[in-house]
Structures are given as C-alpha cells and as structure tokens.
Amino acid sequence: MSRETLEPKDPAFELPPKSLREMAFSSIEDAIEEIRAGRIVIVIDDEDLTAASDAKRTDIRRRKIGFVFQRFNLFPTLTADGNLRLAERIHGNGAGDPDRRREILRLLRLEDKMHHKPLELSGGEQQRVALARAVITQPALVLADEPTGNLDSENSAVVLNMFRELNRRFNQTIIMITHNPEAAAACGRVIQMRDGHIVAG
C-alpha cells in the first residue's frame, strides 16, 4: 500500500495522465463516492473520510474541501459576487472574513468583475471566479480537476500563477489533476500515476 501525506503548507500537486482508474481515485479523494475495494485512508484535519457515514462525508466535504472544475460550474443567473456568497452560505460561515475576501479578490484581479454574471466574463475570468469560490471559505484542501483544460495559454499561465500565490500566501494545500506538462511544471511536487498506481513522486 502506498502512503502519501499532504501537510498544510504543501505546494500544489499534480497527477498525470488521467485514466479511468485515476478518475476513480479522484472521486475517492473528494469523498463523493464510497470506497468499495482496497484499503485507502483519507484524513483531513484529523477527520477520517473513509470511516465516515454518507452524511458525515458530505459535511466534511462542505467544510474542508474546495473544488475547481474544468468547466467552471458557476451559477449562470448569479453574479460573481453571488457565486461567492452562495459558497459562503453553504459553508455555513455567513459573510466570512472580509479582509480575506478582499485579499483574494485583489490577488485574482476580480475587484471590478464582482457584479458581472458568468456569460459576461471571459473563460479566464470565469475560472478565476471559480478559484475564488473554492478558497473563499478557507478549506483545508483544494481539488482542481484539469483547471486549465478550457483555457488558452495566456489565461492558463495566469490561473497557474494564482495557484502558486494562493499556496505561498495562504499556505493553501492544492491537488491538481492534469495531463498538461506545462501545468505540471508549475507544481512544487509531481505525483505520476499509471494504471491506477503511483509510479513517481
């Protein structure tokens, strides 16, 4: 059994390429699916996802994990600000920390975009809103699934740089799953998987 430990100050991680079994590994990580075979233990802030009930896994996911998707998954009828406030409400911390909110928006260059709806934003801007949504509630872990997959090279570079800055300034632990070698080069550590097994990293 391979054991990997992520510390709170760990840099971004990257796992290429993404086979079907590796997608299952990703689903297990974000506690969406129950483990059906094998022996995997996932502990976040001393809370064991693999031993938790469905309700408890949902609660841990809500409180401890931020998600960034390839297709952004923003609510189209809400403004950028509305998408962030909804994430805060679901998390259960109300308005959150206003100083952290301002710093994140400044870092992601979103101060003047908060009253725009997703269709009024470029792809890069939508992904930056999605990234802000993932980290605004101070999760223990951010899972990013192909976050640059729908972006051009310029916007990809911006998003990857922002991942690095979030890691550096907020000690944010990030796991990024990608098959893009340029995205891999932005990571502080690379874990390579093949046929569902860790082969390097």
102-157 pLDDT, tens per residue? 788 888 888 899 899 999 999 889 988 999 999 888 888 888 888 888 888 888 88
Regarding predicted confidence, which is higher, 196 or 103?
103
Residue 7 lies in a domain: no
Is 151 part of a structural domain of the chain? yes
pLDDT category of residue 100 using cuts at 50, 70 and 90: confident
What is the pTM (predicted TM-score) of this model? Answer: 0.76
Whether residue 51 is contained in a domain is answered as yes
Is 8 a domain residue? no
Highest mean pLDDT among 85-94, 160-169, 187-196: 160-169
Establish if 67 belongs to a structural domain: yes
Residue 20: pLDDT band by 50, 70, 90 thresholds? Answer: very low
Mean pLDDT of 64-76: 87
Say whether pLDDT at 91 is over 60: yes
* Segments forming the whole domain that contains residue 91: 13-200
The mean pLDDT value for 78-105 works out to 79
Quick check: is 1 in a domain? no
Residue 93 lies in a domain: yes
Average predicted confidence (pLDDT) for the chain: 77
Ranges 14-28, 55-69, 70-84, 172-186, most confident = 70-84
Asked whether the beta carbons of 156 and 148 are under 8 A apart, the reply is: yes
The whole-number average pLDDT for the span 60-89 is 87
Percent residues over pLDDT 90 in the chain? 10
CATH of the domain at 61: 3.40.50.300
Within a domain: 5? no
Please check the confidence at residue 1 and state whether its pLDDT lies above 50: no
Please give the tally of structural domains in the chain. Answer: 1
pLDDT tens track for 55-65: 888 888 888 88
